[in-house]
Amino acid sequence: MQNLEVLVIGGGIGGLTAAIALRRDGHNVTVIEKDPNWAVYGVGIIQQGNVLRAMNQLGLLDDYINASVGFDTVAVHAPDGTEVARVPSPRLVEGYPANVGIGRPALQKVLGDRTIAAGAEVRLGVTADSIADDGEGVTVEFSDGTTGRFDIVVGADGVYSDTRQKILPDAEKPEYTGQAVWRYNLPRPDDLDALHAYNGPTGVGLVPMSPDLMYMFVTTPEPDNPWYEKTGIAKTMREKLANTAPQLQEMAEGITDDDGVVYRPLEAMMIYGPWSSGRVVLLGDAVHATTPHLGQGAGMAIEDSIVLAEELARADTPEAAFEAYRERRFERCRYIVESSLAICHGQIGKGPPVDNHKATAEMFKVVAEPI
């Protein structure tokens, strides 16, 4: 199919990479994003070799690398801080690192700038009030009072997807895991040359994301899903690290700014049934929201975007393209969601403990496979 009128709902990682991939194929793309400031929180994100490969396919790799820090291994530590393994990561693009750490605002800028440069229309502070699919096209009424007519609609609006609720109201819903993640940016030590993962009931990761900056993520059991006030949350995060390895406790002394703490209860979801209805399709967290234990949430959304564009290019109808897209993506995304959740449950005693060394090595093998 050529020259489709496409609406992408959601201006995050999945929505923007979808817009870039679809514009590359000549489709007319409109992106709507409900946040009028188009903002993301200021901590970092891990991206592995499959993401570098995807960025290369999208023609974004050099801009992306220039905004990030590369590394080739994952160092796994016991709860007392002893390094017990180094897991090598496969390099999937010749001449480039195996993994990168990147600040979310830097990634958003790379993707947003390219989306606009590619000719997509981006409308901020706008949502889709109604989506009416008549079989020949989709009429969308927007929150600003305007109406648009599209050949297809792509719902990339996250784990709480309103698009999913509109088209698949009986599909699975996000479920709270019993664990939460805390994130904070800190100065990068000179010897931080890898992702360092610390096992234990309180899991910790240290990720380089610029020459002088890293971010720390901390997973903690939060069985009752408590609410933490913003005032004093830096002190609370420090306290969560009280029984971790000595080097982590020392780093925790730098967690002082309440506004710098990003806290999020962890939810997971996998849609085991259809991922589309008629001319409306879902991607990314809207259909397979994963916990961050394998660092592949954004990677799965980016891969979704490429596969969706490929299937639209070769299919005769949107419905056929959407079926082929789901067929190619389902098992890979299911593996990431379920394997990440198994690590989560093992950490908080809801399931058997998972060996992070083995789980990480297995994940690298799986995502190295072609999409």
pLDDT for the residue numbered 209: 93
d(CA 238, CA 41): 20
> What is the β-pairing status of strands 99-103 and 5-9?
unpaired
- Name the band, by pLDDT with cuts 50, 70 and 90, for residue 9: very high
Each residue of 259-299: pLDDT tens digit? 999 999 999 999 999 999 999 999 999 999 999 999 999 99
pLDDT for the residue numbered 336: 98
d(CA 33, CA 87): 38
Contacts of 147 by beta carbon, 8 Å cutoff, 6+ apart: 139, 140, 141
Q: Are 161 and 283 in contact (CB under 8 A)?
A: no
DSSP one-letter code for 141: E
Q: Is the dihedral of CA 278, 279, 284, 286 positive or negative?
A: negative
Each residue of 222-256: pLDDT tens digit? 999 999 999 999 999 999 999 999 999 999 999 99
Contacts of 355 by beta carbon, 8 Å cutoff, 6+ apart: none
Q: Copy the structure tokens of residue 79.
A: 């709860």
Please report the domains of the chain, with CATH numbers, ordered by start residue. 5-70+98-174+268-368 (3.50.50.60), 177-266 (3.30.9.30)
- Judged by DSSP in three states, 128 sits in strand
pLDDT for the residue numbered 357: 83
pTM of the entire predicted model: 0.96
DSSP one-letter code for 188: P
pLDDT for the residue numbered 12: 97
pLDDT for the residue numbered 228: 97
pLDDT for the residue numbered 356: 82
Each residue of 68-89: pLDDT tens digit? 999 999 999 999 999 999 988 8
pLDDT for the residue numbered 41: 87
Q: Copy the structure tokens of residue 144.
A: 């600003």
CB atoms within 10 A of CB 204: 26
Query: Rounded to an integer, what is the distance from CA 368 to the centroid of its chain?
Result: 17
Each residue of 160-191: pLDDT tens digit? 999 999 999 999 999 999 999 999 999 999 88
> Is the pLDDT confidence value at 54 over 90?
yes
Distances 158 to 6, 66, 212 between C-alpha atoms, Å: 18, 27, 31
Rounded to 10 degrees, the C-alpha dihedral 242/352/356/364 comes to -140
Distances 31 to 128, 135, 299 between C-alpha atoms, Å: 11, 22, 20
> Is the pLDDT confidence value at 369 over 90?
yes
- Judged by DSSP in three states, 318 sits in helix
Each residue of 122-171: pLDDT tens digit? 999 999 999 999 999 999 999 999 999 999 999 999 999 999 999 999 99
CB atoms within 10 A of CB 72: 16
- Name the band, by pLDDT with cuts 50, 70 and 90, for residue 201: confident
- Residue 207's identity, in one-letter code, is V
